[in-house]
Chains A and B, each alone.
Chain A
Amino acid sequence: MKYTKLAAVALTATLGGLMVSQSALAEVTRGELMAQTCMACHGSVGTGPDATIPSLSRGFPRDLMIQNMRAFRDGTRAATVMDRHATGYTDEEIQLLADYFDARR
């Protein structure tokens, strides 16, 4: 869908002699916003000065994230705080998060 819109705008731009910025089409999705909330603790850049909290800044494998988040949620994986966070997300939301971080790898 984005592909089609992009083509349409690019064509319009050419005909109109105007430049189109890449972000003219950008929309912040629910998955993207949700994923940004993780970054408060899980490092928005590099590995950061802190080595105690795993960084998600270079993405994370999809299946592993789904597995981990479910395990935190179900209490089958020990945690200090992630159990309390993971219980706040539905299966669908966990998949949105996993998709986002997988695409950033």
Chain B
Amino acid sequence: MRDAEGATTMTISRRHFLKALGIGGAASALAACAQMPGERTRGAHVVVVGGGSGGATAAKYLRRFDPDLRVTLVEPNATYHTCYGSNWVLGGIRQMDGIVQTYGTLRDIHGVNVIQDTVTGIDADARKVTLAGGQTLDYDRLVVSPGIDFNWEAAAHGTSANTVEQIPHAWKAGPQTALLRRQLEAMPDGGVFVMVAPPNPFRCPPGPYERASMVAHYFKTHKPRSKVLILDVKERFSKQGLFMAGWKENYGDMIEWVSANDGGMVQSINPTQKIAVSDGGLNRFNADVLNYIPPQKAGQVAHDAGLTNESGWCPVNQVTFESSIHPGIHVIGDASIAGAMPKSGHSANSQGKLVAAAIVNTLKGRDPVAPSMVNTCYSLITPDWGISVAAVYRFDDGSIKGVEGAGGVSPADADRNFRMLEANYTRGWYDSITTDIWG
């Protein structure tokens, strides 16, 4: 924390100066009394839209980097279920209440004004945010961290926002996660779980494959005659070698991955009969539980605010994450186009810190900080078998790039003990990053 850092340098020298100049606690108290609640007498006002990994991090670190800033976080829900960890719920190794986060600490300890409401409009010119409850918020800087929404126009025929109860996506954690878990629990032994994996780019690149692993873990322990079938529109996926070796080692032939070229490119789905069809009707896959993960785009609020381009995602300055379309608005997390960084909770966390630093410095007329970001995506293949991919990011030659020679995936030839250590670190990472964001 800044105050801790300052304890040995700035704060002491400041105290000496203020003492020497006759400015003390009494004057400060008077000044505080003179302020009307909500009056704009102190720092600038930054509004953050979205209380997920990116937005909550930004709100907390804005207050940490500059305790005089007024920070308002707008989030529609009272609690937040992290997508990371939600596959563990599907695997039966964690309960729903083990992936839920709340906003009390941000409000009570970090001084963030948390408003539970939905944004209905963003006026980039007037610098105003309007909320469904009727409130209007003026901002000096706006951070938009809306996560993802589904691109149903590009989705398989037969699917829509209305079919998610029959064939859950569970790609936004919460009720969808619980629903898919219930379907898995209700499935008879010997059944087939079919997952249709999304096209790039999408939230959490290793996520579908960790999910397949966790469902297989549940089947192996409870329904050993069952199968996991992944139908993919892609030819390769994140940590592929590690996943496939881990599957073989732990689950034999329970998990089957079908690439696009091998007939995995699903074109239509019958949600009632739970049938996925590929290759113009050549292949029909019957599922007992069908998990359709649709193509994705930036969260709807970003589209409504005109922050997206033709790709469906938000172009941003790669140093400050300020929108290339609307000045004064920064977009972070899954919704943003962030060079080599994957759409992950850890990326969003790292971007939240960067944008907080960029805003604090900009408001003070200082130069933005040179980007320094990291990402580690851990995945569990079994509760005792973890794998990871890591990278360190810098701004280089106009874009965000992984530092050459750094990062990469877990070693292919690691022993069981190494995998177990990484499984422990996977859970440790969850505890630490969620504390860093919401704690």
CB within 8 A of B429: which of A26, A30, A41, A100? A41
| Chain B residues whose C-beta falls within 8 Å of the C-beta of A84 in the assembled complex | 390, 406-408
Interface residues of A in 72-92 (CB under 8 A from B): 80-81, 84-89
CB within 8 A of B439: which of A2, A44, A103? A44
CB within 8 A of B427: which of A50, A89, A93? A50
| Chain A residues whose C-beta falls within 8 Å of the C-beta of B9 in the assembled complex | 2, 103
Contact at B388–A81, with CB atoms within 8 Å? yes
Q: Given that A32-B2, A80-B418 are known contacts, is A88 also in contact with B350, CB under 8 Å in the complex?
A: no
Interface residues of A in 9-48 (CB under 8 A from B): 10-11, 13-14, 19, 21-30, 32-34, 36-37, 39-45, 48
Contact at A80–B410, with CB atoms within 8 Å? yes
Task: Tell me the complex Cα distance, A3–B13, Å.
Answer: 7
Contact at A6–B422, with CB atoms within 8 Å? no
Interface size on A, residues (CB 8 A): 49
Interface digits, B421-439 against A, CB 8 Å rule (1 contact, 0 not)? 1101101110111011001
Q: Which residue of A lies closest to B356 (CB)?
A: A28
Q: Which residue of B lies closest to A10 (CB)?
A: B17
| Chain A residues whose C-beta falls within 8 Å of the C-beta of B10 in the assembled complex | 2, 6, 22, 25-26
Interface residues of A in 50-105 (CB under 8 A from B): 50-53, 80-81, 84-89, 93, 100, 103-104
| Chain A residues whose C-beta falls within 8 Å of the C-beta of B31 in the assembled complex | 19
Task: Tell me the complex Cα distance, A42–B432, Å.
Answer: 7
Task: Tell me the complex Cα distance, A13–B28, Å.
Answer: 12
Whether B8 sits at the interface, judged by CB under 8 Å, is: yes
Whether B204 sits at the interface, judged by CB under 8 Å, is: no
| Chain A residues whose C-beta falls within 8 Å of the C-beta of B421 in the assembled complex | 80
Interface residues of B in 310-364 (CB under 8 A from A): 346, 349-350, 353-354, 356-357, 360-361, 364
Contact at B376–A81, with CB atoms within 8 Å? yes
Contact at B436–A10, with CB atoms within 8 Å? no
CB within 8 A of B425: which of A40, A80, A88, A89? A80
A20 to chain B, nearest CB (A): 8
Interface size on B, residues (CB 8 A): 68
Task: Tell me the complex Cα distance, A87–B439, Å.
Answer: 29
Contact at B428–A10, with CB atoms within 8 Å? no
Contact at A28–B427, with CB atoms within 8 Å? no
Instruction: Choose, from B60-68, B141-149, B301-309, the stretch at the interface.
Output: B60-68
CB within 8 A of B406: which of A30, A40, A88? A88
| Chain B residues whose C-beta falls within 8 Å of the C-beta of A10 in the assembled complex | 14, 17-18, 21, 23
Q: Which residue of A lies closest to B30 (CB)?
A: A19
A22 to chain B, nearest CB (A): 6
Task: Tell me the complex Cα distance, A23–B69, Å.
Answer: 9
B182 to chain A, nearest CB (A): 28
Contact at A11–B425, with CB atoms within 8 Å? no
Contact at B369–A29, with CB atoms within 8 Å? yes
Contact at A37–B372, with CB atoms within 8 Å? yes
Task: Tell me the complex Cα distance, A101–B357, Å.
Answer: 18
Contact at A37–B353, with CB atoms within 8 Å? yes
Task: Tell me the complex Cα distance, A30–B432, Å.
Answer: 22
Interface residues of B in 1-42 (CB under 8 A from A): 1-2, 4-6, 8-11, 13-14, 17-18, 21-23, 27-28, 31, 42
Which 3 pairs across A and B sit closest by C-beta, in order of nearness? A88-B392, A88-B406, A50-B431
Measured CB to CB, the residues of B under 8 A from A are: 1-2, 4-6, 8-11, 13-14, 17-18, 21-23, 27-28, 31, 42-43, 61, 65-68, 346, 349-350, 353-354, 356-357, 360-361, 364, 366, 369-370, 372-374, 376, 388, 390-392, 402-403, 405-408, 410, 418, 421-422, 424-425, 427-429, 431-433, 435-436, 439
